[in-house]
């Protein structure tokens, strides 16, 4: 278990998520400290800045800085919103935080409300994890009953109300402004920025949105101090972080490790490569991050800077591991289909471009590729990237660009030979599905 203890294992008990258990683990002490000692908001934001906590939702924006953008003197409602819409393929950490530690997120959000002068918050929970949403609602009830939420929290003059809002199946709602639209009862189409949520957010009011893990990291920082959190990781990359490892490993799952941990170590924690096969490639930060070939990733440490230097992104910390049985064309086809299906349809380059990308990759995969297709793909991604309302356009383009960059030869083989470089039966064996049959 990592320093922050986001995740419990099943042995720690099915009841570990309950309020009483959380308090036993030292939960809500940060909130109590703040409220009892009347710690000034500035000081809290200061600790966050010191901690070098960077947003865990993907973009890695410094959280303390983000909180300081909220207009302090704004008259009227302001909101704190938690992004638990985790839909980025490969990412499944927020679900586990909410499953084992809903109160950690609640406590983090209450502290955020305190620090930014917000009286209301919403946690937007991914639609497909309905059971987790229900549990979160129950945790909210526990917190309300214990006067940790609601009016005059812990007898102070600070009041904060928190509600859960569930999604219903749209990846784009993970994008923060689409998420706000969704809470407003609309379809989740991202807004053009500026204005940014800190000035025009939920219902047009100043709003701060952070990822589940970001909020869950806050109590530790308040309890232990920003410096201690920073020291857990490495400079500019404070703390520990959850990494979701999926794909061709023996023990897929979430692992809380200090920032800067060598990738090799994480792979070992995940039980190493499935059946001892050879590592081929890794997408280190969720499906939107550029893919890295085995030799590059094996040299990386897990932090924003190292991964960025290698040409990818730490993103949400979703590590998708692919071994030698993987057909890279098929892998990309699947990702391209995802972005095509999940484009909100609002802006032209993404609506039209993601379908185009998918269709070209699809035709390569199905033996109908043309020699000019790789150039075409690169050119279409150039026309999408940086031209869209939200980052989904870039997210759809980066896999295409990086797959072609690192595995172009495999694509060319596909186009020339009208079939996979990796034989079908090898691919089939790779999934491990049929081993029992």
Partner 1 sequence: MLEIEIDGKKTEVADGSTVMDAAHQLGIFVPHFCYHKKLSIAANCRMCLVQVEKAPKPLPACATPVTNGMKVFTHSEAAVKAQKGVMEFLLINHPLDCPICDQGGECQLQDLSVGYGQSASRYQEEKRVVVNKNLGPLISTDMTRCIHCTRCVRFTQEIAGWMELGQAFRGEHAEIMPFIEKTVDSELSGNVIDLCPVGALTSKPFRFAARTWELSRRKSVSPHDGLGANLIVQVKHDKVLRVLPLENEDVNECWLSDKDRFSYEALNSDERLTRPMLKQCGEWREVDWQTALEFIGTDLKRVVREHGAASVGALASPHATLEELYLLQKFVRSSGSENIDCRLRQTDFSLDGKKVVPWLGLPIAEIPALDRVLVVGSFLRKDHPLLAQRLRQAAKKATRVSLLHVADDDQLITLQGKSIVAPSALAAELAGIVKAVAEAKGAAVDAALAGVQPSAAAKAIAESLASGEKGAILLGNFAQQHAQAATLHALAQKLAELTGARFGYLGEAANSVGGYIAHAVPGAQGLNAARMLAEPRKAYFVLHAEPELDCANPQQALAALKGADLVVAMTPFKTRALDYAHVILPVAPFTETSGTFINTEGRVQSFNAVVKPLGETRPAWKVLRVLGNLLGLPGFEQDSAEAVRAEVLGGKPASVAERLNNQAVGIAINLESAAPALQRIADVPIHFADPLARRAPSLQQTRDAMPPAARMNAATLAKLGLAAGAQVKVSLGGTAILAVQLDDGVPDGCVRVAAGHELTAGLGPMHGEIQVEHA
Partner 2 sequence: MLSQDALKQIDREIAKYPADQKQSAAMAALAIAQMEQGWLSTETIEAVAGYLGMAPVAVYEVASFYNMYDLAPVGKYKITVCTNLPCALSGGVHAADYLKQRLGIGFNETTADGRFTLKEGECMGACGDAPVMLVNNVRMCSFMQPEQIDRLLGECE
Ligand X SMILES: Cc1cc2nc3c(=O)[nH]c(=O)nc-3n(C[C@H](O)[C@H](O)[C@H](O)COP(=O)(O)O)c2cc1C
55 binds, among ligand SF4, partner 1, ligand X, none (CB under 5 to 8 A by kind): ligand X
The reply on whether position 90 binds partner 2 by CB under 8 A is: yes
Given 321, 357, 364, 422, the residue binding partner 2 (CB under 8 A): 321
Q: Which of residues 91, 312, 326, 343 is near partner 1 by CB under 8 A?
A: 343
For ligand X, the binding residues in 17-56 under the rule CB under 6 A are: 55-56
Contact with partner 2 (CB under 8 A) among 13, 26, 131, 408: 131
Q: Which of 134, 147, 309, 359 binds partner 1 (CB under 8 A)?
A: 359
Q: Is position 385 an interface residue for ligand SF4 (rule: CB under 6 A)?
A: no
Compute how many other C-beta atoms are within 10 angstroms of the C-beta atom of residue 13: 12
177 binds partner 1 (CB under 8 A): no
The Cα 410–Cα 196 span in angstroms is 42
Q: Site for ligand SF4 (CB under 6 A): which residue of 346, 381, 397, 402?
A: 346
Query: At its nearest, how many Å lie between ligand X and the CB of residue 303?
Result: 15
Tokens of 275: 């059946």
Considering only residues 182-211, where is the footprint of ligand X by CB under 6 A? Answer: 209-211
Interface with ligand SF4 includes 332 (CB under 6 A)? Answer: no
Greatest CA separation for the chain: 73
Task: Mark residues 91-110: x for contact with partner 2 by CB under 8 A, - for none.
Answer: xx-xx---------------
By CB under 6 A, is residue 387 in contact with ligand SF4?
no
Q: Using the rule CB under 6 A, is 398 a contact of ligand SF4?
A: no
Judged by CB under 8 A, does residue 170 bind partner 2? yes
Among 26, 169, 235, 345, binds ligand SF4 (CB under 6 A): 345
Binding positions for ligand X, rule: CB under 6 A? 55-59, 61, 83, 85-88, 172, 174-176, 209-211, 214, 390-392, 395
Binding positions for partner 2, rule: CB under 8 A? 77, 86-92, 94-95, 120, 122, 126-131, 163, 165-171, 182-188, 203, 244-248, 252-254, 287, 318, 320-322, 326, 331, 334-335, 338, 341-342, 344, 428, 430-434, 436-437
Binding positions for ligand SF4, rule: CB under 6 A? 172, 189-190, 343-347, 350-351, 388-390, 392-393
């Amino acid at each position: 278990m990592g320093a922050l203890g986001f995740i419990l294992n099943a042995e720690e008990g099915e009841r570990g998520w309950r309020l009483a258990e959380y308090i036993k683990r030292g939960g809500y002490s940060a909130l109590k400290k703040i409220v009892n000692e009347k710690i000034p908001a500035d000081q809290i934001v200061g600790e966050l800045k010191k901690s070098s906590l960077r947003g865990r939702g993907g973009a890695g924006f410094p959280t303390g800085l983000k909180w300081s953008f909220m207009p302090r003197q704004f008259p009227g409602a302001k909101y704190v919103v938690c992004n638990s819409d985790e839909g980025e393929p490969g990412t499944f950490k927020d679900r586990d935080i909410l499953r084992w530690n809903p109160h950690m997120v609640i406590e983090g959000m209450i502290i955020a409300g305190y620090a930014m002068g917000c009286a209301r918050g919403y946690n937007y929970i991914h639609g497909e994890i309905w059971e987790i949403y229900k549990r979160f609602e129950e945790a909210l009830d526990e917190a309300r009953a214990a006067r940790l939420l609601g009016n005059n929290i812990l007898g102070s003059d600070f009041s904060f109300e928190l509600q859960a809002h569930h999604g219903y199946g749209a990846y784009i709602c993970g994008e923060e402004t689409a998420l706000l639209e969704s809470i407003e009862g609309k379809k989740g189409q991202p807004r053009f920025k500026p204005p940014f949520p800190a000035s025009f957010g939920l219902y047009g009011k100043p709003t701060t949105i952070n990822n589940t893990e970001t909020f869950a990291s806050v109590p530790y920082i308040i309890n232990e101090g920003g410096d201690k959190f920073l020291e857990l990781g490495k400079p500019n990359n404070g703390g520990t972080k959850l990494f979701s490892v999926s794909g061709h490993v023996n023990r897929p799952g979430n692992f809380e490790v200090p920032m800067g941990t060598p990738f090799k170590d994480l792979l070992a924690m995940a039980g190493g490569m499935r059946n001892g096969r050879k590592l081929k490639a890794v997408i280190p930060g969720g499906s939107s991050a550029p893919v890295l070939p085995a030799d590059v990733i094996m040299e990386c440490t897990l932090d924003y800077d190292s991964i960025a230097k290698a040409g990818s992104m730490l993103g949400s910390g979703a590590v998708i591991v692919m071994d030698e049985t993987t057909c890279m064309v098929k892998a990309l086809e699947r990702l391209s289909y995802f972005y095509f299906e999940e484009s909100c349809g609002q802006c032209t380059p993404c609506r039209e471009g993601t379908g185009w990308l998918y269709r070209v990759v699809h035709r390569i995969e199905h033996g109908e590729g043309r020699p000019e297709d790789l150039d075409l793909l690169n050119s279409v991604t150039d026309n999408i990237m940086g031209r869209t309302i939200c980052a989904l356009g870039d997210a759809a383009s980066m896999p295409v660009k990086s797959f072609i960059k690192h595995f172009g030869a495999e694509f060319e083989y596909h186009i020339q030979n009208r079939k996979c470089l990796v034989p079908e039966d090898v691919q089939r064996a790779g999934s491990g599905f049929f081993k029992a049959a």
